[in-house]
Amino acid sequence: MTQKSCSNCSGPAQFSMNIVVSTVGVSRRLQHSSSSVAFCPECLRELIDQICSAPLSLAVNSAYTRLNQQLEARSTTVDSSEGELSSR
């Protein structure tokens, strides 16, 4: 798999973000999503810190935190299974 670059600093990207914009209070909601934008952890954290809407910042931070925890858990699982393979 090809390593993607961070859209901000060109370092190795670990996350990507898409934005979905929807109408509210309109029958037959309209939605459009952006293309994905790649980020390294540091640049994504900087972006989250600079979001001017507190509710949006909290929502993005919450999603980032959950995803990062899942990524760390996956990494721990892979490391454990590799250890088992190498000990055989």
- Please say if the pLDDT value at position 84 is more than 60: no
17-73: per-residue pLDDT in tens? 999 999 999 899 999 999 999 999 999 999 999 999 999 999 999 999 999 999 999
Q: How far apart are CA 73 and CA 17, in angstroms?
A: 21
Strand pairing report for 37-39 and 15-17: antiparallel
Determine the pLDDT at residue 79.
63
